Chains A and B, each alone.
Chain A
Amino acid sequence: MIRLYDYHLDENGFRVRLLLSMLGLSFETVAVDKAPGREQEKPHMLALNPTGTLPILEDGDVRLFGTVAILAYLVRAYKPDSPWLPADAADFGRVQQWLGFSTRELKPAVDAREAALFTSEGASDSDLKAARKAFRIMNDHMTVRQIEGFDWFVGTSPTLADLALLPSFALSRDSGIDHDEYPALRRWLRRFRALPGFITMSGVPDYH
């Protein structure tokens, strides 16, 4: 049985839960008190993941930390021939590019949301500015993709690029970033929501 160490309001946990659901995989959750307890940084959790982050995935002998590593593992292990990780070298590279973007350029969006939800100071101006810049890069990309007749970030079907990028945009209102200025992302979010196995979390409305 796949085991996910997770906190229910965690955005990166949502990335993994979303993929598990879309791949139709069952799993058990170990709830970790990230807020307010910061349990993921306690010694018993550092023994599982020395970096002190969530989520952590266990599957038999495999234990992984780092969201995109977990996503890539699940696809390779359970749907190796699916378009989630394209076989074509160029598209595989493009998916890796956006996976990197999701951990780098979107980190301020993840941090801004956590600060807005779990701290009294709220999100920092610099994180909000960087998050908006990242969303704008994504919107510029999808604007051109849409004109070219494509629905997804890479290739002709949804990939891990879409799945890893989407939660930050879907949850951006938690930190006060509205969707007004990103029309191409609005349409992309709506398309992705209609895919089989899509699930929501607190902050992503069930209705749309």
Chain B
Amino acid sequence: MTSASPWIPVALSADIEAGTSAGTLVNGEERVVWRDDKGAIHVWEDRCPHRGMRMSFGFVRGDHIACLYHGWRYDTSGQCRYIPAHPDLEVPQTIKVPTFAATERAGIVWMALEGADAAELSALPETAEPVRSLFLDMTAEAALAAVTSTLPEGCSVSATSASTVTLEGNGTTVLIAAQARDAERTALHMTVTGDISTTTRRSLALWATDLRNRLESQMVEAA
């Protein structure tokens, strides 16, 4: 294992369509991942400073995201620009949602503290095709260990880091990136390069589903 990268995977790129938002948990903290209509990705704290409503319940219009409660609108820097109840108000600079660095690499959306260097992800392929995100009730470490002990047929581990495992086999390279949602829950985001045919991606998605089902039946037996 190499030293921990500051970059945390939070979603498959394909699952955050332009003009949409989704909530997620990162180490127990609520985050909103959203894509503006120009295609740029953003990761913020999932709280409207007004009443604490989750921004992920809101809606994206152009390059602004608006809160579902009262329509407060924020630009891509997290700065509130418009309050419908006070249309003539010059919104104070202090009304701002905390933001994170966000980037996309290997078909995955990654977040880090502002200022993080995206070059740290340069070992990964620039783009990749989505397989699926898998949600497991275990630590990220245990989830990655489960992957390496139940590999898809014909695949072997070609690289690992603290939060990723790369598999090779059958002409396909599979990246599995772990997001610690909280102390007991993990999301594994899977993408492929090389042979990205429907058949390959379908069988990998089913392998992942089967892995989850097997892990859960083990947990039931252990309980």
Q: Give residues in A with beta carbon < 8 Å to B.
A: 136, 140, 143-144, 147-149, 173, 178-181, 183-184, 186-187, 190, 205, 207-208
Contact = CB atoms under 8 A, between A and B. Distances in A.
B12 interface: yes
Contact of B206 (A144, A179, A208): A144
A126 to B, nearest CB: 16
Given A179-B23, A180-B25, A207-B68, A147 B202 contact: yes
A143 B132 contact: yes
B66 A183 contact: no
Contacts of B17: 187, 190
A205 B202 contact: no
Contacts of A180: 22-25, 56
29 contacts: A136-B135, A143-B205, A143-B209, A144-B202, A144-B205, A147-B131, A147-B198, A147-B201, A147-B205, A148-B202, A178-B23, A179-B22, A179-B23, A180-B22, A180-B24, A183-B15, A183-B22, A183-B133, A184-B15, A184-B132, A186-B15, A186-B22, A187-B17, A190-B17, A190-B20, A205-B68, A207-B66, A207-B68, A208-B20
Contact of A205 (B24, B57, B205): B57
A173 B57 contact: yes
Range, interface on chain B: 20 to 34
B59 interface: yes
B143 interface: no
Contacts of B201: 147
B52 to A, nearest CB: 15
Contacts of A148: 198, 202
A208 B59 contact: yes
Contacts, number: 51
Contacts of B22: 179-180, 183, 186
Interface of B: 11-12, 15, 17, 20, 22-25, 56-59, 66, 68, 131-133, 135, 187, 198, 201-202, 205-206, 209
Given A147-B201, A179-B23, A186-B20, 11 more contacts: A143-B132, A144-B205, A147-B202, A148-B198, A178-B23, A180-B22, A181-B135, A183-B12, A186-B22, A190-B17, A205-B57
Contacts of B187: 181
Contacts of B205: 143-144, 147
Contacts of B57: 173, 205
A184 B14 CA distance: 10
Contact of B209 (A140, A179, A186): A140
A136 B137 CA distance: 13
B59 A205 contact: yes
B16 to A, nearest CB: 8
Contacts of A136: 135
Nearest to A208: B59
Given A205-B59, A208-B59, A183 B20 contact: no
A183 B202 contact: no
B68 A183 contact: no
Contacts of A184: 15, 132
Contacts of B25: 180
Contacts of A179: 22-23
Contacts of B24: 180
A144 B66 CA distance: 32
Given A143-B132, A180-B24, A180-B25, A149 B198 contact: yes
